[in-house]
Structure 1
Amino acid sequence: MFDHFGLFVSTVADGLLLTIEATVGGILLATVLSFLAGLAMLSRFAVLRAITRVYVEVWRGTSEVVQLFWIYFALPVLTGFQILPLWSGIVVLGLNFGAYGAEIVRGAVQAVPREQREGCVALNFTPAQRMRRVILPQAFVDMVPPFTNLFIQLLKGTALLTFITVPEMTYQASQVLVTRYTGQAALIWTIVLVFYLVLSILITSGMKVLERRAAVRVGRAPRRAALSGAGT
C-alpha cells in the first residue's frame, strides 16, 4: 500500500503552491470586500445599503460551483474577456466569502457598546474618527474568531478550482493520481486531507496571534466565543 507513498506526497505537493496562492488571494479579496460591504450596510444612505444587501444575498444565496462556472465560462461570452482559471477562482472565493465576512464586520461593529459611541460624540470626534480610532479597533478583536472560521472554509473551497482545471492539490490527487492508482485511493486522499489540515492549523495559529495583538492594543483579553455569521 505504501510502495508509492513518496510519489503520492510529491505529486500532491506539486499543487500546494497553487492552493496557497488561491487561498491567500481569496483571503485578501474577501477581507477587503468584507470591510467595504460590512461598513456600507451601516451607512446612512439607503441606496448604498440596498446595493450592498443585494451583493451579500446574491453571493451567499447561490452555489459556489455555479458562481465559478459563471465567472469562468459565461462571463467571457458576455464580455469577450477570458479570465485565467486561477484568477477566476480567486475572484469567486473573494466575492463569495466577502459576502459572509460583511455580516461579520457589520455584527462586530454593532456589538461595540453604545457608551463608546457616546464618548466619541462627547469628545467631538468626527464619524470617521469614531470608526477608525475607537469602534473598529474594538470590533476587530471580535471579528478575528469568525474570520478564522471563514478563512478555513475558504481554504477548503479552493478544491472547487479542480472543476476549471487549476492543478491545485485536489486536482493533482483526483486527475493525476487516483486515475492511475485507483486501488490506493484511500492513501492518496488521506495525504490530501493531511495537507489541508496542516494549512488549516497554520491559518488558525496566525489568526490567534493576530487576535492576541488586537486585544492587547485595546486593553482587553481576546474573546473565546466567535460571533455568529461566519458562514460555517
Structure 2
Amino acid sequence: MFTAASLLEFMPLLLRGALVTLEVTLYSTVLALILAFLAGFLQLSKFRGLRVLSTVYVELFRGTSLLVQLFWLYFALPILFDIRMPAMVAAVAAIGLNYGAYGSVVVRSSILAVPKGQYEAATALNMSPAIRMRKVILPQALPLMLPAFGNLQIELLKGTSLVYLITLMELTYQGMILRSYDSSKTLEIFALLLLMYFVLAYALTWIVRLLERRATRGRA
C-alpha cells in the first residue's frame, strides 16, 4: 500500500525521470512529424525515385523493431562506422524515425481522402501545386490526421520506456533503479510508474482532442 513515506521516498527520483521522458517525447514528436510529412509528400510525388526512397524508409522502420533500431544507433554504429552519439540523440533519432514512418502513412492516406473535386477546383483557379496543398488540401486533411496522430503520440510516449536500455535516465530507468535498492517495494514502484504514464498519456490525449476541436471548428 502507498504511504506518505513511500511517496516522499520515490517521487523525487520518478519525477526527475518523468522530465526526461517528456523531453524525449517532445523532441521525438517534432522529428516524427517532420519525417511523417516529408515521407508522406514524397510518397505522393510524381517522381518514381522519390517515391521509392520514401517507401524504403517507411517499410524499413515499420518492419523492424524499435528496440533493435535503438541498439543499432547506440551500440552498432560506433562499432561499424565509428559514429557515436549521446543516448538522448540516439533515443530521439530512433523513436522519431520509427514513428515518423508510421505517421507518413497517416499523412498520405489523409491527403488522398480529400475529395478529388477539391483538387480540380484549385487547379481551375490556377493555383500552383504548393499553394493548392497549403491553402486547400492540407486544411481539409489535417482534421483527418489528428485522431491517428493522437494514437501514435500515445504509442510514442509508451515507446520511450525502451530507452532505459541504452542507459537514458528516464521514468522507467528511475523505477528500475529504485527497485534495485529495495525489491520489496516492487509493487509500489511499478504502480507509481503505471499511474505516472497514465497521467502523461491522458494529458497528451486531452491536448490532441483540443487540437481536433480547433481544427474542425466552423466546418460541417
The equivalences for 1:67-106 within 5 A come to 67-106=69-108
Q: Tell me what 2:153 maps to.
A: 151
Q: Which secondary structure does the structure 1 equivalent of 2:84 belong to?
A: coil
Taking the aligned partners of 1:80 and 1:200, their CA distance within structure 2 comes to 37
Q: Which secondary structure does the structure 2 equivalent of 1:121 belong to?
A: helix
Shift of residue 77, structure 1, vs aligned partner: 2.2
Q: Does 1:203 align with 2:204?
A: yes
Q: Which secondary structure does the structure 2 equivalent of 1:133 belong to?
A: helix
Alignment partner of 1:20 out of 5, 19, 22: 22
Shift of residue 9, structure 1, vs aligned partner: 1.9
Q: Tell me what 1:213 maps to.
A: 214
Shift of residue 102, structure 1, vs aligned partner: 0.2
Taking the aligned partners of 1:64 and 1:56, their CA distance within structure 2 comes to 13
The structure with the largest helix share of the pair is 2
TM-score by length of 1: 0.91
Q: Does 1:193 align with 2:189?
A: no
Identity within the alignment, %: 45
Q: Tell me what 1:183 maps to.
A: 184
Q: Tell me what 1:227 maps to.
A: none
The CA RMSD measured in Å over matched residues stands at 1.1
Taking the aligned partners of 2:79 and 2:219, their CA distance within structure 1 comes to 52
Q: Which runs of 5+ in 1 are unaligned?
A: 222-232
Aligned residues: 218
Q: Which secondary structure does the structure 2 equivalent of 1:156 belong to?
A: helix
Shift of residue 206, structure 1, vs aligned partner: 1.1
Shift of residue 80, structure 1, vs aligned partner: 2.1
Q: 203-212 or 135-144: which moved more?
A: 203-212
Q: Which runs of 5+ in 2 are unaligned?
A: none
Q: Given residue 143 of structure 1, which amino acid in structure 2 is its aligned partner?
A: M
Q: Which secondary structure does the structure 2 equivalent of 1:197 belong to?
A: helix
Q: Given residue 162 of structure 2, which amino acid in structure 1 is its aligned partner?
A: L
Taking the aligned partners of 1:129 and 1:79, their CA distance within structure 2 comes to 42
Deviations 1:124-148 (A, max 9, x none): 1111111110001110011001000
Deviations 1:16-67 (A, max 9, x none): 1110110000000000000000011000011100010000000000011110
TM-score by length of 2: 0.96
Taking the aligned partners of 1:113 and 1:53, their CA distance within structure 2 comes to 24
Q: Tell me what 1:114 maps to.
A: 116
Taking the aligned partners of 2:200 and 2:6, their CA distance within structure 1 comes to 23
Shift of residue 214, structure 1, vs aligned partner: 1.6
Shift of residue 79, structure 1, vs aligned partner: 3.0
